[in-house]
Structure 1
Amino acid sequence: MYATPPHECARVSEKARPNPEAKRARHGRYAWIIAGTAALLTAVLPGATLPAAATTQHGSADRIYVADSGSDSVSVISAETEKVVKTIAVGDLPTGVAVDPPRSRAYVTNLLADTVSVINTRTEEVITTITVGDEPRNVAVDSTRARAYVVNENSDSVSVINTNTNTVVATITVGDEPWGVAVDPGRARAYVSNETSQSVSVINTDTNAVIATVPVGVNPRGLAVDPSRARVDVTNFTDDTVSVINANTNVVTATVPAGNGPFAVEEEPSRARAYVADNNQSAVSVIDTTSNEVVALIHVGNDPSGVAVDESRDRAYVTNFGDGNVSVINTKKERVVATIRVGGGPIGIALVERDSKRNR
C-alpha cells in the first residue's frame, strides 16, 4: 500500500522558523519514519507521507550514496559489488543528496534539522554541517561554479552554498513550497519546482536572479535536465504527467502521461531516455525523449522515490521508500537485476564517480 501523498497532508501557513519540538510536532506525519522499525516501512500507515522527491544525477559510478530518511544516515553502496559497504550518520531526516566530484564532496539535506551535512567522499566522513533555510528538501550541485543549491520548502527559498568554503553566500526567493531542484551548468541555470505554486522557477546561476516562472502541472516534484536536448523534465505528482520544458525558451513543449504518482525523474541522454519513479504504482516509466512516449514500464519496490543513472554500467538505481531497498535496473534489458537492502525510508540517491580518489 502507499503512503498518503505529501500534498494531501495539512500545511502550515506560518513561515516563521519553529523550535525543534514544534517542528517535529508539525511533522507528525513523519514520526513513523523516524521512530519506527524497518517493519513499519512496509506496513499500511494512514496519514504517513514521503518526505521529498529526490534530486539525482547520471554519470559513471564507483559508489552510490542513498539518503535513508528513517535511519538518519547515508548508505554507501559499491557499484561493483552492489552491496552496502558503509553507513554514514548525518542529520535529522535526510532526504536529498548531491555530489561535487572535483572537490570530493557530497551534500545531504536534513529536513528536520534545517541543515546540510557535507561528506568527504574520499574518507566517507561528515566534515561539516551547514545551517540553511527551513525544511531543506533537495540539493543540486553545479561543480563548474562551485555552488550547491538547496531548496527550503517552508522558507520559499533556495540557499546557495559556496562548495569551496561550505558557507551560504546567497538566498534566493522562489515560489510557494519549493520541492525539487536541478541544474544546467552550460546554460547557467537552476530549475526549482514549486509544489503549491504549480510552477518552476528558473534561476540565472551567474546572477542568482529568478529570470522566469514556468507554469506546469499539479504538485510538481522531481526535475531532471538533458542539456544536449535543451530539455527539463518535471514530474507532476497529482496530474500523473511529466511536463517537458524547453531550456532555451522556458516554455512547456509537451506533457507526457507517466504512470501513477510520478515522483522523481532522471535522464539517460545517450539512449534518449528519462526514467520516472511512479510512487503510487511501484514502477518506473521509461520515456523516449525523442518521441515523448512511454516505451516501457519496469516494476520495482514499494513507493519508488529517487532515481540515478550510470550510463557506463547500463544501470539505473531506484530507491524504494516503502521497502528500505534499492532496485537495480539493467537499462539495456529494461528489467530489475538486483535489489540492495539499505537503511529505513531511502529517498535521495546520487553517484560518486570512479575518479574520486579515496583515503588521501
Structure 2
Amino acid sequence: MRLLSASVRPKKQRGRRLLAIAGSCGLAVASLTAVAPAAHSAPAPLAASAARAAAEAPLAYVTNYSDDTVSVIDTATTAVTSTFAVGDGPKAVAASPDGARLYVSNGDAGSVSVTDTATGTVTATVPVGDGPNGIAVSPDGTRAYVVNSALQRLTVIDTATNAVTATITVGSAPQQVAVSPDGGRAYVTNYNARSVSVIDTATNTVTATVNVGGFPQSVAVTPDGTRAYVTRPYSNSVVVIDTATNAVSANVPLTDGPYDLAVSPDGAHVYVSRGQGATIATIATATNTVTATTAAGNTPRGVAVTPDGRKVYTANGNSAAVSVIDIAANTTTAVPVGTTPVDIAIAERPTADLGVKLTATPRPGLLNGRIEYTATLTNHGPRTLASATVTLNLPSGTGATSPDCALTTGKATCTATGLAPGAEVTRRVTVPVSALSLGTSYTVTATRTASTPTDPNPANDSASRTCTATTALVINCT
C-alpha cells in the first residue's frame, strides 16, 4: 500500500476511507460487624486491592478514521467501555500527562479536538490548518504539537488556552512528531524530504535536519532521550538517530513495511508495526536487532505500550480491531473497535478518590435534643473531583434538617463540585431526639453514590455512626 504525499488527501468516503493516508498512527468511620467470607472467596484486603488496581488501570484511546470516533478500551479487561465522536477524519491521538485531556487531529476537518477524558466530551475544537496528522503533547502538558502534512509545518497549541501560538516550517510532507522526555526538542519526520527536523521547543526553531533517507514515517524517542527511532516503510528498515550528534547511528533491517513504533517504558525494546505483514516486531535497543515477531491484525498502524510495559496495543486499519499483545506470553488478543482504526494512545485513567468520614455529635435538651451528623468529603486525588453525590440514610419520620443537603423521607442527598486534590468539604444533617426516646437507636450511614471522574477506591466510600437516646438529655454516640 503506497502512502500519499502530504499535499494530497483522499476525499472522505463513508465506510471505506483509504488507509493510504499518511496517518498516525478517607477511612470509613463505622461500627463493623465481622462476617465470615464465603468459601473460596478472596480475603477482603486482597479483593479490595485487586478492585482498586483494576479501577486504576490505564485506558487506551483509538481513533476510528471512517467513523469520526474514538473508542475507549479498559486495559484491565481489554473491553471497549465507550465510544465518543470527534471531528471529521480523526487520525492521530495523544493524551495529556495526567490523562485528563485527549488531543485528536482531524485530518479532513483541519482541526484538533480537545476532549475531557472523564466525560468523553469535546470541550474545544482548535483550527490548525490543512492536513493535520501526527500529534504529541509536551511532558509538562503545556503544549500540543500538530504536524500539518499539507502545509509543511508544525503547529504549536497552548493547552491552557487551546490557541495556536506558533507555526514552524519543516520539510516536505511531514508525517509524525515526537517530543524528547525533557521537552526541549521535537522531532518531525519529513516523508518526501527523506529527513527528520529537530526543533528547539524553547525558540520554536529548526536547529538541525537529519538525512535519514527512505521516506521516513514515524518517530519515537527513548526514555533517556539519547536516541530517536524512525521507521522507513519503503526501505524496510528502522534507523536510529543519536540525539547528541543528530546523526544516524544504526540501521535495523525489517521487512513488511515498518510503519509506526513505540518504545517500552524501560527503554529496552522498540515495538514496530509492520503494515504489510500483519505483525509487530520487537527490537532490542541494546543491540538494535529484531528479537521477536508477534501476530497482529490486518494492516497494523499506531502502536502504544502500557505503562507497566507488559502489553503492546496496535490499531489494525483493515481489521476494525485492536491487537493486544501480551509480551511475556507472546500472545495476541483482538478487540473489535470502529471502522478503520488508525492510531492509539494509552494514558492514565482520570480518577479522583473521594473519601467519606462521618461524625456524630449529641446535643442534649431538656425536652428535645438532637444529633448533628457531619459528613467530611475529602478528595484524595489525583484528579480534581468534578462532582460527587453522597447519600445519608436517616431514621424515618424524624423531621431531620440540613443547611447543606436535600432532604426526603429517610434520606439526605449531599453534593460537592470542583474539589481539588487534598481539599475537603463538610455536609451537616441534624436529627431531632424526642424527650421520651426510651433507648431509641439512631444509625446513619453516609455513602458515595456517584462521582466524576471515576473513583478507584471503594474501601473509603462509606461511613456509619450509631447513637442511642434514653431521653432527650441522655444521648450516647459510638
Assess same fold via TM > 0.5.
yes
**Does the 8 A contact of 2:192 with 2:215 survive in 1?**
yes
Residue identity matched to 1:161: I
1:66 aligns with 2:62: yes
Deviation at 1:249, TM superposition (A): 1.4
Residue identity matched to 2:166: A
Deviation at 1:260, TM superposition (A): 1.2
Deviation at 1:229, TM superposition (A): 5.7
1:118 aligns with 2:97: no
Residue identity matched to 2:323: S
1:354 pairs, out of 349, 352, 363, with 349
Deviation string for 1:252-307 (max 9, x for gaps)? 10011122111100001426100000001111111001100000111111100010
List aligned pairs for 1:36-185, cutoff 5 A: 36=15, 48-54=18-24, 62-102=58-98, 104-144=100-140, 146-185=142-181
List aligned pairs for 1:8-23, cutoff 5 A: 12=7
Residue identity matched to 2:334: T
The TM-score, its normalising length taken from structure 1, stands at 0.86
Mapped partners of 2:288, 2:154: distance in 1: 30
Mapped partners of 1:291, 1:143: distance in 2: 28
**Does the 8 A contact of 1:154 with 1:177 survive in 2?**
yes
Q: Which has the higher contact order (CA 8 A, sep 6+)?
A: 1
Deviation at 1:204, TM superposition (A): 0.6
Show structure 2 runs of 5+ residues with no match.
Answer: 26-55, 352-382, 386-451, 454-478
1:278 aligns with 2:274: yes
Partner of 2:334: 339
Partner of 2:441: none
Mapped partners of 2:309, 2:281: distance in 1: 20
1:35 aligns with 2:14: yes
Deviation at 1:35, TM superposition (A): 1.4
The structure number with the bigger radius of gyration is: 2
Mapped partners of 2:3, 2:100: distance in 1: 33
Show structure 1 runs of 5+ residues with no match.
Answer: 13-25, 42-47
**Does the 8 A contact of 1:74 with 1:89 survive in 2?**
yes
Residue identity matched to 1:252: V
1:208 aligns with 2:196: no
Number of equivalences: 325
Mapped partners of 2:57, 2:154: distance in 1: 28
The CA RMSD measured in Å over matched residues stands at 1.9
**Does the 8 A contact of 2:224 with 2:267 survive in 1?**
no
Partner of 1:196: 192
Structure 1's 345 and 192: CA in aligned 2 closer, same or farther, altered over 3 A? same
Mapped partners of 2:87, 2:304: distance in 1: 22
Residue identity matched to 1:159: T
The TM-score, its normalising length taken from structure 2, stands at 0.65
Structure 1's 290 and 136: CA in aligned 2 closer, same or farther, altered over 3 A? same
Deviation at 1:104, TM superposition (A): 1.1
Mapped partners of 1:204, 1:124: distance in 2: 33
Identity of aligned residues (%): 39
**Does the 8 A contact of 2:264 with 2:309 survive in 1?**
no
Residue identity matched to 1:238: Y
Deviation at 1:103, TM superposition (A): 7.0
Deviation at 1:123, TM superposition (A): 1.4
Mapped partners of 1:52, 1:141: distance in 2: 20
2:231 pairs, out of 196, 219, 235, with 235
Structure 1's 103 and 161: CA in aligned 2 closer, same or farther, altered over 3 A? farther
List aligned pairs for 1:239-250, cutoff 5 A: 239-250=235-246
**Does the 8 A contact of 1:51 with 1:95 survive in 2?**
no
1:6 aligns with 2:3: yes
Mapped partners of 1:354, 1:184: distance in 2: 23
**Does the 8 A contact of 1:183 with 1:191 survive in 2?**
yes
Partner of 1:15: none
Structure 1's 61 and 177: CA in aligned 2 closer, same or farther, altered over 3 A? farther
More helix by share: 1
Partner of 2:319: 323
Deviation string for 1:155-203 (max 9, x for gaps)? 0001100011111000000000100110014160100000000000000
**Does the 8 A contact of 1:52 with 1:347 survive in 2?**
no
